[in-house]
Structure 1
Amino acid sequence: MAAKGNNSSRRSSRALAFQVLYGLNFSPAKDLAQLQEAYCASPDVSDRGGEAHPVGFAWELIEGTWTNQKALDEIITRFAQNWRVERIGKIELTILRLAVYEMLYRADVPPKVAINEGIELSKQFGDDKSRNFINGILDAAAKALEAGTITCKY
């Protein structure tokens, strides 16, 4: 029973991370302090009275995805056949960055879970077409990870 609560908590943390990272597409953070401000200003965080220092799974996803964005975009570009990162919709790109980050940088998240959670985020924030697009890229990245043509960073 506790595991289910943890999964639900992680799912809501992913949704929060998505929302903060998506917002950064329109108002980019120039440094870690601005990233922390964006996180603390998020309605889900500020409604709880904010946090003096960002902590928890959502913050780890936000900071890790933001910090490794260039490397994540290179992986996404590699598997998004005929798509440049600049042409991918902001919702889809944010979901892809989060899921690829979890796949490559989080030892506690198996690739299948990262794919599933990416698809769940696309159901919540994207449309039907984005699900297939996201699934295709994440599946290709997972297969490359399994084959050893890309490596985990943890």
Structure 2
Amino acid sequence: MNRRVARLRAAQALYQVDVIKEEPELAMTSVLDEDERPNTFFHQLVHGTLEHKDELDGWISSNLQGYTIERMGHVDRAIARMALFEMKYIEDIPVNVTFNEAIELAKAFGGEEAGRFMNGVLSNSVEMMQDENEI
């Protein structure tokens, strides 16, 4: 499983945890294809995002204009949380790589508009995090 696939599967698992309140381990298992083997990165994304969810939601909420985090689409929320976790806590991946991967994931699930929305949310969040030396 490469990092791109790990991000996709992690977003799917996080969606399940958020929407249907699935247990993380069960959600992680359910999103894997029959021949896929989870890697450390996949586990790190899911567990780390869930562990820091309140903090990540704070960053996201601070950067939504005219929205609340509850009004965000479930998939967009899962991707934004995961991307911000990766940017802040996984040091060996450049922020711009994570940023672009999150936008591509949002587009894959929701089209160009979702990509633009993700770009705006993450741009504002990254700028705020950089201003506060969080990343």
TM-score when scaled to structure 2? Answer: 0.89
Identify unmatched segments of 5+ residues in structure 2: none
Q: Tell me how large the CA RMSD over aligned residues is.
A: 1.9
Give the C-alpha shift of residue 70 in structure 1.
Answer: 0.9
Distance 2:100 2:39 in 1: 24
The letter of the residue matching 2:35 is R
The answer as to whether partners of 2:9 and 2:32 remain within 8 angstroms in 1 is no
Give the C-alpha shift of residue 22 in structure 1.
Answer: 1.1
Distance 1:41 1:15 in 2: 13
The letter of the residue matching 2:13 is V
| SS class of match (1:127) | helix
Distance 1:20 1:115 in 2: 19
1:26 paired with 2:19, answer yes
Equivalent residue, structure 1, for 2:117 = 133
The letter of the residue matching 2:130 is E
Distance 1:137 1:41 in 2: 29
**Cα distance per residue 1:12-59 (max 9 Å; x no partner):** 110010111111222214xxxx31122123242xx138x7xx642111
Distance 2:18 2:25 in 1: 15
Equivalent residue, structure 2, for 1:3 = none
Distance 1:42 1:12 in 2: 11
The letter of the residue matching 2:134 is T
How do 1:67-106 residues align onto structure 2 when only pairs under 5 Å count? 67-106=51-90
After TM superposition, what 4+ stretches of structure 1 lie above 6 angstroms from structure 2? none
Kindly tell me the number of residue pairs found equivalent between the two proteins.
Answer: 135
1:48 paired with 2:35, answer yes
Give the C-alpha shift of residue 65 in structure 1.
Answer: 0.7
TM-score when scaled to structure 1? Answer: 0.79
Give the C-alpha shift of residue 145 in structure 1.
Answer: 2.6
Identify unmatched segments of 5+ residues in structure 1: 1-7
